[in-house]
Amino acid sequence: MNPLVTEKSVNCVLLDGREIEIGNALERLGIEVIYTEKCDELYEAISYHPDILVHPVEEKEVIVAPNVSQRFINELTKFGIKVVKGKTFLKRNYPYDIAYNVARLGNTAFHNLKYTDPVLREILEKKGVKFLHVNQGYTKCNMAIVDEKSFITSDRGIFEVGVRSGFDVLLIEPGGIILEGFDYGFIGGATGLIGEKRLAVTGTFYHHKDYEKIMEFLNKKGIKITYLTSGQIKDIGSIIPLF
């Protein structure tokens, strides 16, 4: 099972430890929230981001960076989640912070393979996952996964690899997404599937300049959108389903 593309209603997600308002919105939907803890080795904007610290292997199994806190690992195991430590210690500067930021659709994983954590890659390949190389290191950040064969990205390199590999991809303009300390964030980091064809979004797409293109693409795919706030969408390191 690929937990990033779930076929059932999600009961528990992983969320940036600073995002209490969004967590409360998810809890009102009946979804339990596990909050990340800060990784001091990373720069502030992404120091809590789930898609930087963790990769979900399958339901109730994750790979974590070895420098996440033990208290965070304990919180995951309290929920019955199997935790495997990767080999790559995360460091402040790109590309040494991207080892676990892998995007998956079906049995395909997208990442800059020069920097993929070897434990993560070995585990996924043993499960039959095929890896595709892209130059973008913040791959999961930059891919809003819509279903097993579709995603949205603002990265042309990811777009071209995806199209060549048979995926249905919407390319949007960069920008219009908040990430504190940066000009903008990425759409994958502002979204997450919380049920079959049910996409949770940190704000509303209305504020994005490609609003009409995004809505047309999602409507074509039969996606129901759940807006968690009424403001501009914000990159929070993805909403990651756990089970």
Edge-to-edge strand order for the sheet containing 103-105? 103-105, 108-111, 130-133
pLDDT for res 53: 98
Mean pLDDT of 33-48: 97
Mean pLDDT of 43-49: 97
Are 94 and 137 contacting, i.e. CB atoms less than 8 angstroms apart?
Answer: yes
Mean pLDDT of the chain: 97
Residue 6 falls inside a structural domain: no
Residue 236 falls inside a structural domain: yes
| pLDDT higher than 80, residue 76 | yes
pLDDT for res 191: 98
Encode pLDDT of 91-120 as tens digits.
999 999 999 999 999 999 999 999 999 999
Q: How confident is the model at residue 35 (pLDDT cuts 50, 70, 90)?
A: very high
pLDDT for res 219: 98
In percent, how much of the chain has pLDDT > 70?
A: 100
Mean pLDDT of 37-64: 97
Are 231 and 225 contacting, i.e. CB atoms less than 8 angstroms apart?
Answer: no
Mean pLDDT of 161-178: 97
CATH code where residue 102 lies: 3.75.10.10
pLDDT for res 78: 97
How distant is the alpha carbon of residue 90 from its chain centre? Answer: 17
| pLDDT higher than 80, residue 242 | yes
Q: How confident is the model at residue 7 (pLDDT cuts 50, 70, 90)?
A: confident
Residue 2 falls inside a structural domain: no
Mean pLDDT of 14-20: 98
Residue 77 falls inside a structural domain: yes
- For residue 124, the enclosing domain spans 12-241
**Domains identified in the chain, total number:** 1
Residue 221 falls inside a structural domain: yes
Q: Calculate ∠ Cα 51-55-58, nearest 5°.
A: 135
Residue 214 falls inside a structural domain: yes
Residue 7 falls inside a structural domain: no
Q: How confident is the model at residue 125 (pLDDT cuts 50, 70, 90)?
A: very high
Pairwise CA distance, residues 112 & 53, whole Å: 16
Q: Which residues, listed in sequence order, are joined to residue 61 by a DSSP beta bridge? A: 58, 82
3-state helix, strand, coil in the chain (%, to 5): 25, 25, 50
pTM of the model: 0.97
Residue 138 falls inside a structural domain: yes
Structure tokens of 159? 């777009």
Largest CA distance in the chain: 44
User: Count of CB atoms within 10 A of residue 157's CB?
Assistant: 15
Mean pLDDT of 146-157: 98
pLDDT for res 1: 74
| pLDDT higher than 90, residue 56 | yes
